[in-house]
A and B are shown apart, each in its own frame.
Chain A
Amino acid sequence: MSSSASALYDVPGPKAAARHRLYGGLALLGLLALLGWVVWELFDTHQFTYQKWMPFEYQGIQRLLLHGLGNTLKAFAFTALFALPFGAFFAAGRLSDHRVVRWAATLVVEFFRAMPLLVMIFFIFVAMKVQPLWALVAGLTLYNGSVLAEVFRAGVLAVPKGQREAAFALGLRKTQVMAYVLVPQANRAMLPSIISQLVVALKDTSLGFLITYEEFLHAGKLIATNLDYDLPFIPVVLVIAPIYIGMCLLLSWLARWVERRGRRSPRVKGGAPMAKAGVALGLPPEAQQ
């Protein structure tokens, strides 16, 4: 982007380029100063003492963290397992030929998308007295499943009309048109959006922390509030945050890789356009209509 013109700038000439380099140098200095200040502050408040990092040497602590990570991944796996069929089911409902089915599916999908996820999780946890894991999974499934339903529906609608008409002209029944013609193409085009939504689900498993599900953050908090280790809060964050963010980044990169690969693939040509792999905040732009 730097070398090509955009709506905002021409390609910079030698003078402008020198000016940009100057600004860049100043910005870099400022950022380094900020970073240095943070690191200095960390040292100043004694965050790198042996005593605060010692707990990570203990096997019990390591096992606790791994157990938490395992629980997080378990909740994520169950969510993906339930949310994908849920989404497919309600997407089919929203695309149905029967008005009653369509209305019912729309009602369900719109309701669960409009509710704050945490309210649903708390409702299931407090009012229905469900185990934390299943309350979390149920809440995540309802929310992400509804968003996925919109993603699937947008994908099927994005397949060019001719495909569907041609399939009907060949005498396929509507279930066959859906299963053999529309869904395979929609799936390929929507895969980046689907994976992006799974990133959202993975991020939201951390809400389990708030209903005392023993997931990754919960394990971190147990260590961080231990007086024996001199309250090693910052070390815990320095260990937990990169792992959490790293997992989400990996999934995001997978989504983008699938998107790039899909764009190059000749199989997508003429079919539904590849979806963007951005981490949506619930609403994929294709599904907003």
Chain B
Amino acid sequence: MKVLTANFSTYWHGFLGTLELTGVSALLALVLGVLMAACRVSPVGPLRTLGAAWVTVLRNTPLTLLFFIVVLGLPRFGVSLPFFTFAVLALGCYTSAFVCEALRSGINTVPTGQGEAARSLGMTFGQTLGLVVLPQAFRSVIAPVGSVMIALAKNTAIAGSFSVVELLGTYRTLNELGYSIIWTFVWIAVGYLVITLAISAVFNLMERKWAVAR
């Protein structure tokens, strides 16, 4: 307990850093993921190939390698941004591949008949998508996207090793101050648990709110 109370500001800083990193990367991942999912289900061949390649490559890339490339590689191109932005780029791109797959399989759960019925009622593409397909897909997507977000929150720990202010990174400061390592880690673990449990609670609520028995 003493480790926590004596270093509350360090922990709080790291906690907020993890939270911020998770939030911003989640935003990027969702935007990119929706774009890529749109590509993957589009009727245009090259776009479908782009989406498929994006997902296949990123899902099979170790996140550490991605960080390695982004954090150490982009500066060679004369791109110099703060570490935080690099971390968001790496985490966001990586997670977007998983978000894309979750969304795509969500859209695929909507039976073909739904779209055909909508079209035979004279609905335009926009109406079919917005009023019929997406509302149904949305419900089956909540749980998988939730677990992707939890994984994202856990993956922010990697950013901590690439000198971004983050919860796991706090252990170094506390270690130098000579605090008990075990308790340092216990409180770091508690911090992560708080974040992941909060995310899973939010997504559970959303699921319960919009769940529909089919």
A residues neighboring B (CB under 8 Å): 1-2, 5-10, 12, 16, 20, 23-25, 27-28, 31, 41, 45, 47, 114-119, 122-123, 126-127, 199, 203-207, 209-210, 217, 220-221, 224, 231, 233-234, 237, 240-241, 244-245, 248-249, 252, 278-279, 281-283, 285, 288
List 20 extra interface pairs beyond A6-B41, A27-B44, A118-B158, CB under 8 A: A2-B45, A7-B114, A7-B116, A12-B43, A20-B44, A20-B45, A24-B46, A27-B47, A41-B77, A117-B157, A122-B185, A126-B175, A203-B61, A205-B62, A233-B72, A244-B65, A249-B56, A281-B151, A282-B147, A282-B154
CB distance from A10 to the nearest CB of B (A): 6
CB distance from A147 to the nearest CB of B (A): 11
Does any Cβ of A come within 8 Å of B161's Cβ?
yes
A-contacting 9-mer, from B4-12, B83-91, B105-113: B105-113
Which of B44, B153, B196 is the one whose CB lies under 8 Å from A23? B44
Does any Cβ of A come within 8 Å of B182's Cβ?
yes
Q: Is the pair B41, A244 in contact by a Cβ cutoff of 8 Å?
A: no
Does any Cβ of A come within 8 Å of B3's Cβ?
no
Q: Is the pair A245, B61 in contact by a Cβ cutoff of 8 Å?
A: yes
Closest to B110 in A: A7
Size bin of chain B's contact surface: 35 or more
Q: Is the pair A6, B115 in contact by a Cβ cutoff of 8 Å?
A: yes
Whether A7 contacts B171 in the complex (CB less than 8 A), given A217-B65, A281-B151, comes out as no
Q: Which residues on the B side are within 8 Å of A2 (C-beta)? A: 43, 45, 48
Q: Which residues on the A side are within 8 Å of B68 (C-beta)? A: 209, 217, 220-221, 237
Give 13 CB contacts A-B under 8 Å.
A2-B43, A9-B43, A9-B115, A20-B45, A27-B46, A41-B77, A45-B76, A116-B156, A116-B168, A119-B185, A119-B189, A203-B63, A241-B65
Q: How far is the CA of A252 from the CA of B57 in the complex (A)?
A: 11
CB distance from B173 to the nearest CB of A (A): 13
Q: How many A-B residue pairs lie within 8 Å, measured between CB atoms?
A: 161
Q: Which residues on the B side are within 8 Å of A41 (C-beta)? A: 77
The A contact surface, by secondary structure, is: helix
Q: Is the pair A8, B50 in contact by a Cβ cutoff of 8 Å?
A: no
Q: How far is the CA of A230 from the CA of B189 in the complex (A)?
A: 41
B residues neighboring A (CB under 8 Å): 41, 43-48, 50, 56-57, 59-65, 68-69, 72-73, 76-78, 98, 101, 107-108, 110-112, 114-116, 119, 125, 128-129, 133, 143-144, 147-148, 151, 153-158, 160-161, 168, 171, 175, 181-182, 185, 188-189, 192-193, 196-197
Q: Is the pair A252, B60 in contact by a Cβ cutoff of 8 Å?
A: yes
Q: Which residues on the A side are within 8 Å of B114 (C-beta)? A: 7
Closest to B45 in A: A24
Q: How far is the CA of A123 from the CA of B180 in the complex (A)?
A: 12
Q: How far is the CA of A86 from the CA of B28 in the complex (A)?
A: 36
Q: How far is the CA of A204 from the CA of B129 in the complex (A)?
A: 38
Which of A7, A116, A127, A204 is the one whose CB lies under 8 Å from B133? A7
Closest to B75 in A: A233
Q: How far is the CA of A146 from the CA of B6 in the complex (A)?
A: 34
Q: Is the pair A118, B157 in contact by a Cβ cutoff of 8 Å?
A: yes
Which of B61, B112, B181, B197 is the one whose CB lies under 8 Å from A7? B112
Q: Is the pair A127, B185 in contact by a Cβ cutoff of 8 Å?
A: yes
Closest to B143 in A: A288
